[in-house]
Amino acid sequence: MTAPLVKVDAIVRSYRMRTGMFGRVADLRAVDGVSFDIRRGETLGLVGESGSGKSTTGRMVLGLEAPDSGSVAFEQAAMPAIGSAPWRSQRARMQMIFQDPLGALDRRWTIARQVREPLDIHAIGDDASRAVRVDELLHSVGLAHDQGLRYPHELSGGQRQRAVIARALATRPDFLVCDEPVSALDVSIQAQVINLLIDLQAELGLTMLFISHDLRVVRQISRRVAVMYLGRIVELGDADHLFAAPQHPYTRALVSASPAPGRRNAERIVLTGDPPNPAARPAGCAFHPRCSHAFARCRMESPKLVEIAPDRSVACHLLDAGTVPAAASEAAA
């Protein structure tokens, strides 16, 4: 079995925060021991709500932030120190696509100039070949040469996101981290961009980490999915199987909460309680305050991510106890 392209091992990241004008300083643990592999050419989806730590994880995987502990390895080599020369040249191999395309583009430069920038930075080719490559890139994302001459505010949201993708692909990266790339787009434009990403991946053999809060989108584009809650992975596995038969109570609630036509009278699992506050994590399992199956052990001990089937891991004490509640009994809860 070939080694994974990206290997993340127990990364942890905390921030210090002051609450209010006169408040105390609190330690906010955004990511609390996350591990996963991403194999070459596959897409790993990272799903979670606010406070889950998925964006922070994405930045650490890309090497934009250093974990407080744990490691990130790219092609079996550890991430170089941020800002160093090897780190900078590694940027050409991995790129990020963000949620807000308008914010990710410089207002004062034309699209073509921005798509060209990575080529200039990494000194790829010469003037003539760079111009050709820019046109090639624009074409591959479905933008016309004319649109390259425009400024970001003159394009629509969908077109801007395409431009961001074109720029990300300029240096022929192996690895792409997409952080909520379609959340700000209309449904029909979302579909265009998702299709585009899937096509590009097939064509260029890209490896992707796709971060989103929208399960439906994640399922469409990912082969494997990791579900995060309060800085930890609670379930990990093949996308289709995971969404068809989620094991962790949180994953079940998430799947149930994803609105879909034709499910009007299906039983909905509605979580009680508030969304998690990373500055005030519950003891034991981070999810237990909202879990209808929580028992004594959940309040004291945090469950480990355990492989329960080939390519499926879950972090839940219920599985240790041997009783995985069937979906039907959830409805009665």
Partner 1 sequence: MLRFFAVRIARAMLTIALVVTFAFVVLRLSGDPALIIMGPEAPPEVIAAFRKAWGLDDPIWMQYLDYFGAIARGELGRSMRDGRPAIALVAERIPATLVLTIPALLLKLGIGIPAGILAALHRGSVIDRAVMAAAVAGFTVPSFVLGLVLVLIFAVQLGWLPSGGQDSWRHAILPIITLGIGGAAVLARFTRSAMLEVLGQPYVRTASAKGVAWRAVVIRHALPNAAIPTVTIIGFMVGTLIAGAVVVESVFSWPGVGRLLVVAVANRDLAVVQCVLLLVAATMVASNLAVDFLYGFLDPRLRTGTQAGAH
Partner 2 sequence: MAPLVSIENLTVAFDGVAVLHGIDLQVERGEALGLVGESGSGKSVTWLAALGLLPMATSVGGRVRLEGADILGAPPGKLDRIRGGRIAMIFQDPASALNPVLPVGKQIGESLVLHRGLSGASIRSEARHLLDLVGIPDPERRLSSYPHEFSGGQNQRIMIAMALAGNPDLLVADEPTTALDATIQSQILELIGRVRRETGMALVLISHDLGVVAENCDRVAVMYAGRIVEEAAADELFADPRHPYTLGLTGALPPIDGPRRRLTAIPGMVPNPKAMPPGCAFAPRCSSSDRRCEDKPPRLRAIGERRRIACVLETGALHPPLLEAAAE
CB of 94 to partner 1, least distance (A): 27
**Partner from partner 1, partner 2, none contacting 22, C-beta within 5 to 8 A by type:** partner 1
**Partner from partner 1, partner 2, none contacting 189, C-beta within 5 to 8 A by type:** partner 2
Stretch of 57-65, 94-102, 105-113, 192-200 contacting partner 2, by CB under 8 A: 192-200
Q: Which residue, 47 or 206, has its beta carbon nearer to partner 1?
A: 47
**Partner from partner 1, partner 2, none contacting 156, C-beta within 5 to 8 A by type:** partner 2
Interaction between residue 55 and partner 2 (CB under 8 A): no
**Partner from partner 1, partner 2, none contacting 17, C-beta within 5 to 8 A by type:** partner 1
CA distance 26 to 250: 26
CB of 87 to partner 2, least distance (A): 34
CB of 215 to partner 1, least distance (A): 17
CB of 33 to partner 1, least distance (A): 18
CB of 282 to partner 1, least distance (A): 13
**Partner from partner 2, partner 1, none contacting 262, C-beta within 5 to 8 A by type:** partner 2
Interaction between residue 275 and partner 2 (CB under 8 A): yes
3-state SS of the chain is CCCCCEEEEEEEEEEEEECCCCCCEEEEEEEEEEEEEECCCCEEEEECCCCCCHHHHHHHHHCCCCCCEEEEEECCEECCCCCCHHHHHHHHHEEEECCCHHHHCCCCCCHHHHHHHHHHHCCCCCHHHHHHHHHHHHHHCCCCHHHHCCCHHHCCHHHHHHHHHHHHHCCCCCEEEEECCCCCCCHHHHHHHHHHHHHHHHHHCCEEEEEECCHHHHHHHCCEEEEEECCEEEEEEEHHHHHHCCCCHHHHHHHHHCCCCCCCCCCCCCCCCCCCCCCCCCCCCCCHHHCCCCCHHHHHCCCCCEEEECCEEECCHHHHCCCCCCHHHHHHC
**Partner from partner 2, partner 1, none contacting 27, C-beta within 5 to 8 A by type:** none
Q: Which residue, 23 or 262, has its beta carbon nearer to partner 1?
A: 23
Write out the residues near partner 1 by the rule CB under 8 A.
17-23, 26, 28, 49-51, 275-280
193 touches 181 (CB < 8 A): yes
Size of site (CB under 8 A) for partner 2: 42
Residues that bind partner 2 (CB under 8 A): 49-50, 156, 158, 186-192, 194-195, 213-217, 219-220, 240, 243-244, 253-264, 268-272, 274-275
